[in-house]
Structure 1
């Protein structure tokens, strides 16, 4: 608790100073920033030299620079066309040579989840649009080097990055943002930890543009204090705190904090959350460019950050929505190429249900297991009563649970295995931890239903993958899956919503009982809907917001190309 107490005390002093003596506080921050910039100058020079060396070696391997650029140019041609005239006064050619350093703050970059897909596609889009820029990822994954990280990106997401212009700087204080470090006041503690983790990053290197892609608003706030000339951006997957979370404290609420606001202790927790929400709103208002991953996240961020941002007038471009929705990139095109949806493929699909999600508490695997057991037990009994013969040509479905698994998740998976055995469905539940992309595609191609069980899922990349693969979706009746993804197309449904064990079980039965013709029509509608979330659409929107940050950088330093 010693470290925790010290950090809490330091944070309290910082907050008090920023509120009551802002001029002195900001002046002190600039002095610290100047020191950090000087201390990291040597590393900056070495990084630039290393990039040039690796680029030269790369070009030698492919013979000429023309061959190096040709593939990327062809790949990005449609996006480039969409960006013509996006620069101020229609200027475009003069902007091609920006060679600054863009820092991506993503301490868990090797986790392999949906948030990481956003990071890698963002870097890929940046590399294609700004080939002279250097992308630096601040990460705490000390156990893997650059080549191993990039190899996993290719295997997990089928994303190929240009290695010479991407580098990784390793943080030493990642434990400060773990919930286990803060058994009390977890939200505030992790936010405080992110401040110290960002300071750790700036000691390594001060970038020209700083972008948080994990949701650490307090880290970007520190950047604005230390380096006023460094534009900041944030891609928000979900708000650290939201009105839904506050509502969940009430009796009958949903989520992992359901009912925690009851009694005296609950009142104190509610007051603490409201105070934290106020702090979160203030630090969020300092970020220059804000992107959210869904309409649900946008609504919450607008309600929290919006009023303060209007006061500070932080909008970077009057023609651009201040807090915009940039849907996460999904490998829709890859899935369309890999999986056919027609009468022939319909005949080859099994009656399996697949759930692609990291093995975390909020993903609610337990509820999905119970719902599957409720639905499948009658079919299992019928099959066994028939001596193993499939009754009515309806094979007993399987529940396939696919997800990346951290060391801390191993006990959770073990508990789920035990629960499956207790529910009598362990023979029909398959766990596939740390599956590669090819394996996931194969499972989606062979299955019929894709399920999502998280309450207030901020978006749901896995759900879009289901749709692109032609799976009939059964998702929680909340958040992004409800508002943005599993919506009607041409007045017809693309899946089902549920919020309880009984509703999920009923939805499984509906989805797996559809006549073949109706099932095929729903799969095709879902695929058409998924095209709204392609990597190309993401790339176009990401680059537009990145251009704003580059323009801001040039305005603040007063020279071009820095």
Structure 2
């Protein structure tokens, strides 16, 4: 990097800019001076930069204090999970290498920070682009828990039933996961600065990347200040369960619906007094199809009148639902303390969750007590 160069370029990959912006904007303005130049790589070609920024404000109540430029990429389809029905992790990682090369050819930054989990792009920018590289990790691409699931042959969203029931295929997948975990640790070690969003993520990244001397926890930069003026004691509450999270398979929304169905069958006053609201974002057609399947599940369980879906809603509407609901619901296995969980903790009287124990024990995570 040239010593007299005045403009720094901050770069990140994103497949859903408004969500990634929420996670990373709380980080980068603390790191650089006001004259820094910020560049964001994005594959969202059907929107303009202004529309992305307006979307971030509408959905997260964040208005950026500095100008951000956008570099639009053509090959984002190479990192879509639907393109790789088998060996998905490897396929997406190799696809991210191609996407990273395209990004580097279009804009060579001084500092590159990946906030989307494309760790395999780090050596591309470090060695080919001669950039300083860093990472903000929401959730590790692979974890020791994922290895444990395959070894124990438990069927999960990332471990198909036909594999978990077959010892030979399970052993092959274990070997594949170990090789991938080694490669993931190798590329992750290129990161000069590592930021993670929770204690749980930190422990897994330490086990895989070996970066104890350069890792920091940066908790999700949620706008909880917007909730401070709400009086939790006097605000009227409805008999509503609320779930906040993107409609991805690991969020396990179907478990929430089935659990809510069982709850309705056990209450004496009747199901018409209780509701479940599922709030989340859809990144692509695959997520939209997942929502359609969830709606069909509600119909099959005869609880469609008690379940509402709120897709990509504005921040003010999200705030209203959180203030009115009584119980927060979160069913992701090994939840990494993301934005959805923080928002629920800020306003919910009761939260039912599968949050890891080490995250629950961190006293600094207590944003406010109702």
Does the TM-score normalized on the shorter chain lie above 0.5? yes
Q: Give the structure 1 partner of residue 150 of structure 2.
A: 249
Bigger share in strand: 2
- How far apart, in 2, do the equivalents of 1:157 and 1:141 lie? 18
- How far apart, in 2, do the equivalents of 1:278 and 1:487 lie? 30
Kept in 1, the 8 Å contact 2:138–2:196? The answer is: yes
Q: Give the structure 2 partner of residue 511 of structure 1.
A: none
Secondary structure of 1:215's match?
Answer: coil
Q: Is residue 2:48 matched to residue 1:208?
A: no
Task: Note the 1:6-45 alignment, pairs <5 A.
Answer: none
Q: Is residue 2:250 matched to residue 1:362?
A: yes
In the alignment, structure 2 segments of 5+ residues that lack a partner are none
Q: Give the structure 1 partner of residue 78 of structure 2.
A: 176
**2:134 counterpart (228, 233, 250):** 233
Q: Give the structure 1 partner of residue 180 of structure 2.
A: 276
Q: Give the structure 1 partner of residue 14 of structure 2.
A: 107
Task: Note the 1:541-560 alignment, pairs <5 A.
Answer: none
Task: Note the 1:87-236 alignment, pairs <5 A.
Answer: 99-110=6-17, 112-113=18-19, 115-126=20-31, 130-162=33-65, 165-228=67-130, 230-236=131-137
- How far apart, in 1, do the equivalents of 2:149 and 2:304 lie? 32
Question: How many residue pairs get matched?
Answer: 364
Task: Note the 1:412-491 alignment, pairs <5 A.
Answer: 412-476=290-354, 478-479=355-356, 482-484=357-359, 486-487=360-361
**1:235, CA displacement in angstroms?**
0.5
**1:424, CA displacement in angstroms?**
2.2
Kept in 2, the 8 Å contact 1:134–1:166? The answer is: yes
Q: Is residue 2:177 matched to residue 1:289?
A: no
Secondary structure of 2:273's match?
Answer: coil
- How far apart, in 2, do the equivalents of 1:254 and 1:468 lie? 33
Residues 202-238 of structure 1, C-alpha deviations (whole Å, 9 max, x = no match):
111101111111111110111111133x211100111
Kept in 2, the 8 Å contact 1:469–1:527? The answer is: no
Q: Is residue 2:265 matched to residue 1:377?
A: yes
- How far apart, in 2, do the equivalents of 1:324 and 1:436 lie? 31
- How far apart, in 1, do the equivalents of 2:331 and 2:89 lie? 23
Q: Bigger radius of gyration, 1 or 2?
A: 1
Kept in 2, the 8 Å contact 1:120–1:153? The answer is: no
Q: Is residue 2:171 matched to residue 1:267?
A: yes
Kept in 1, the 8 Å contact 2:119–2:188? The answer is: yes
In the alignment, structure 1 segments of 5+ residues that lack a partner are 1-36, 38-96, 310-314, 316-320, 385-394, 495-525, 531-562
Residues 226-262 of structure 1, C-alpha deviations (whole Å, 9 max, x = no match):
133x211100111111110000113463631346454
- How far apart, in 2, do the equivalents of 1:488 and 1:287 lie? 26
- How far apart, in 1, do the equivalents of 2:37 and 2:137 lie? 22
- How far apart, in 1, do the equivalents of 2:325 and 2:367 lie? 15
Residues 360-417 of structure 1, C-alpha deviations (whole Å, 9 max, x = no match):
11110100001001011233x6438xxxxxxxxxx72210011112332222112111
Q: 1:251 to 1:451 in 2, by over 3 A?
A: same
Q: Give the structure 1 partner of residue 216 of structure 2.
A: 324
**1:529, CA displacement in angstroms?**
5.9
Secondary structure of 2:352's match?
Answer: strand
Q: Give the structure 2 partner of residue 558 of structure 1.
A: none
- How far apart, in 1, do the equivalents of 2:53 and 2:311 lie? 20
Kept in 2, the 8 Å contact 1:194–1:218? The answer is: yes
Secondary structure of 1:249's match?
Answer: helix
Alignment RMSD, CA only? 2.5
- How far apart, in 2, do the equivalents of 1:106 and 1:488 lie? 30
- How far apart, in 1, do the equivalents of 2:186 and 2:6 lie? 32
Q: Is residue 2:180 matched to residue 1:305?
A: no
Q: 1:378 to 1:529 in 2, by over 3 A?
A: closer
Q: Is residue 2:276 matched to residue 1:399?
A: yes
Kept in 2, the 8 Å contact 1:118–1:328? The answer is: yes
- TM-score when normalising by structure 1: 0.61
Residues 476-516 of structure 1, C-alpha deviations (whole Å, 9 max, x = no match):
1x43xx432x45979xxx9xxxxxxxxxxxxxxxxxxxxxx
Q: Give the structure 2 partner of residue 41 of structure 1.
A: none
Secondary structure of 1:443's match?
Answer: helix
